[in-house]
Structure 1
Amino acid sequence: MIEIDGAKGGGQMLRTALTLSTVTGKNFRMTNIRGSRKDAGLKDQHLQAVKMAKKLCDAKTEDVEFNSEEIVFKPGNLRNEALNADIGTAGSVNLVLETVLPVTTQLDEDFSAEISGGTDVRWSPSSLHFRQVKTELLEQHGFKGSYEVEKTGFYPKGGGTARLETVSYSMERLDLVDRGELEEVELTVKASNSLEDEEVAEETLEALRSELEVDVPVKESFEYVDSVSEGSVSLLKASYENSVAGFDAVDERGQRAEQNAFRTVTQFEQFRGSEACVDSFVADQLIVFLALVGGEVSIRELTDHVETNLSVVEKFGKKVGYERKEGEVILRR
């Protein structure tokens, strides 16, 4: 039984452990789940991640309940099963999908998962980032599939639905070290239909445009969508010769577009000033792929998220090392 102490980490430690347990068939017990968070323990989105992983390997579990700070996961044989789940809150559907997406590297049949909840909520990857950045990076290395938002879900009610589908594919080793030159920037905004009269999407685009200073082509697009709760989300996507990076912001009512635009562009500029190949948001999410298929990934810095995630993969016998260099850290397996 692999023992994991989650006291210093968040939900990413649990998601990584679930993925690797499902794939390797190794049992684990995690204590102090999300111990670094004020609201420690399993929340709705974490419960759904456990349940999805359980279905994919017919696992036996213990202590899987709301607010539980300890679980035991004993996987059976890996199997392919269409998954459906409803978080029931605005919990992030994309964080739940982070658990099952890496498992598809081991499947030899088509796969699908549909999850309802929050598609664009704070403290998690937005649907724009998931579709335009993460899946694009994976496609560069053999991933074949699609991610679609059937309905957008903002905080506090959620009510959105996202669908992930994959076809049988062979994942290549990750080669994300030299990003090359910046070729294009794309600005995308999505907002609730109820905000169209206020021109929130157009205002957000204008704020981003006014903060941005680049000498490459800049594309812009926006759309208004149906949603239960009001909100908007924006993404600055930077396309390089050999990689893509993204910087998003979920705007809640009462926030100024200028403030979010400034933060988004500041994150982009910090990234440009480094030698990193991927943004910090996707950096820790790629560690589990490194554990499964190997390769190299250049990130800007060794964050707490990255370090705790590295400790989890090592528990499963899939050590990912790192090398500090000027302006970057190279993760390598």
Structure 2
Amino acid sequence: MIKIDGKAGGGQILRTALSMSAIKGEDFRIENIRGSRSDPGLKSQHLECVRTIQRLCDADVKGAELSSEKLVFKPNKLEPENLTVDIGTAGSISLLIDSVLPLITQFNEDFRLTVKGGTHVRYSPAFESLEAKLDLLERFGLQTEIRLEKTGYYPKGGGKITLTAEPSSMKPVVLTNRGKLKSLEIQSKASVELEEKQVADRQLEELLELLEDRLSSVLVEKDSVYVDTLSTGSSLVLKADYGDSLAVFDALGERGKRSEQVASEVFEQFETFENTEGAIDRHLADQLMVFMGLAGGKIRVPQITPHIQTNLEVLKKFGVELGCSMDKNSVLISSKS
């Protein structure tokens, strides 16, 4: 049985282990789950990841309960089953779907997954980031469609995303050069309660001002919308299309946080990425590494982060070795033949 110490990282260690275990049919035991966090153990979103993967591979599981810091996972046969999952909080829908996506590469029939929870929440990819990742993965054979049915902010969540997939045959994931910036897409969103204060409009206007020097040389699509949500909130997302790759940057609004600050956070992420040679941003890297473990490939990222490092170590435990070579402004992660 594979043994994993989860103390050094967060939920990504667990998600990677679940995906690889289900696909490879290898048992694992993880201890000290999220052990370095102030609130260690399984939270609702992690628990639903476990339960979802459990259903898809008929796994025998011990320790699958809230706040548990130990989990034993023994997979059986992996088979597609259309599922509806309710995280029950504003736990990240995107991260739960991330744990399921690698399994789709093994299915030989259509699959549908509907998840309720948070669509734009802290410390996790916004819906638009997930959407961009699926656009990239489609280039390498993953056949999916995704639909945002309802936006969910912290703390109540209530968002809803549906993923559908067809049988797919993956090619090596190769993203080493991002190309020249071709277009920018801005999505500014806020709850209907914030329409009177024009929060979404102001977030958009502030970001456009910061991007002023770029706007004359690239195509720009922009939109500000107000939506019904269970909890009041706002979000601002910037998607940069480089032709050979995509990158997404986002920030959340909250009580007492000015629109200028929200826009500034997004712009600073974009500028930081622009000053590297990375083909994809550092957050997307650790999510693509599982696909590289399955199909091979190489990706260029701005830097090695703790998430990437711990993910490399978990993949190695499942027999997948990815190498890293550092350049001045980027790191190349590649599969070993």
Q: Which letter does structure 2 place at the counterpart of 1:100?
A: V
Name the TM-score, length of structure 1 as normaliser. 0.98
In the other structure, the counterpart of 2:298 is 296
Partner Cα distance (1:242, 1:171) in 2: 18
Counterparts of 2:37 and 2:133 in 1: how far apart (Å)?
A: 25
Aligned residue for 1:182, secondary structure, equals coil
**2:322 is aligned with 1:326:** no
Partner residue in 1 for 2:182: 183
Which sits farther off after the overlay, 191-200 or 72-81? 191-200
| In structure 2, C-alpha distance between the alignment counterparts of 1:45 and 1:94, rounded to whole Å | 10
Q: What SS class does the counterpart of residue 326 from structure 2 fall into?
A: strand
Q: Secondary structure at the match of 1:186?
A: strand
Q: Tell me if structure 1 keeps the 8 A contact 2:118–2:158.
A: yes
2:280 paired residue number: 278
Q: Amino acid of the residue matched to residue 119 of structure 2? A: T
Aligned-residue offset at 1:288: 0.8
2:94 aligned with 1:94, yes or no? yes
CA distance in 1, matches of 2:35, 2:207: 36
Say whether the 8 Å CA contact 1:208–1:265 is kept in structure 2.
Answer: yes
Question: Displacement, 1:5?
Answer: 0.4
Provide the residue aligned with 1:236 in structure 2. Answer: 238
Normalised to the residue count of structure 2, the TM-score between the two structures is 0.96
- Tell me the SS of whatever aligns to 2:153: coil
Q: Which runs of 4+ in 1 moved over 3 A?
A: none
Q: CA deviation at 1:241?
A: 2.1
Unpaired segments ≥5 residues, structure 2: none
- 1:2–1:315 contact (8 Å) kept in structure 2: yes
> What displacement does 1:164 show?
0.8
Q: CA contact under 8 A between 2:282 and 2:304: conserved in structure 1?
A: no
Percent pairwise identity: 46
Q: For 1:283-315, what per-residue CA distance to the aligned partner results, in whole angstroms no more than 9, with x for missing partners?
A: 111111111111000000000010001100000
Structure 1 unaligned regions, length at least 5: none
Aligned to 2:198: 199
**Equivalent residue for 1:128?**
128
- What code does the residue aligned with 2:186 have? L
SS at match of 1:103: helix
| 1:136-155 superposed matches below 5 A | 136-155=135-154
* d(CA) in 2 for partners of 1:283, 1:260: 24
Q: How much has 1:147 moved relative to structure 2?
A: 1.2
Residue 218 (structure 1) shift: 2.0
Distance in 1, Cα, partners of 2:151 & 2:266? 21
C-alpha displacement of 1:86: 0.9
* RMSD between superposed Cα atoms in Å: 1.0
Mapping for residues 1-333 of structure 1, pairs under 5 Å: 1-131=1-131, 133-212=132-211, 213-214=213-214, 215-333=217-335
Q: CA deviation at 1:68?
A: 0.4
Report the Cα distance in structure 2 between the residues aligned to 1:75 and 1:29, rounded to whole angstroms.
Answer: 12
Q: Distance in 1 between matches of 2:127 and 2:69?
A: 28
Provide the C-alpha distance between the structure 1 equivalents of 2:34 and 2:292, rounded to a whole number of angstroms: 23
For residues 179 and 159 of structure 1, what CA distance do their matches in structure 2 show? 35
Q: How far apart are residue 91 of structure 1 and its match?
A: 0.8
Q: Which amino acid aligns with 1:84?
A: T
Partners of 1:194 and 1:139 in 2: how far apart? 37
Q: Distance in 1 between matches of 2:34 and 2:282?
A: 20
Output the CA distance in 2 between the equivalents of 1:125 and 1:153: 13
What letter corresponds to residue 3 of structure 1 in structure 2? K
Judge which range, 180-189 or 67-76, deviates more: 180-189
- What is the count of residue pairs matched by the alignment? 332
* Structure 2 CA distance for aligned equivalents of residues 137 and 193 of structure 1: 32
Alpha-carbon distance in structure 2 between the residues aligned to 1:42 and 1:271: 32
Is the contact made by 1:44 and 1:88 (CA closer than 8 Å) also made in structure 2? Answer: yes
Q: Secondary structure at the match of 1:296?
A: strand
Q: Aligned letter for 1:151?
A: K
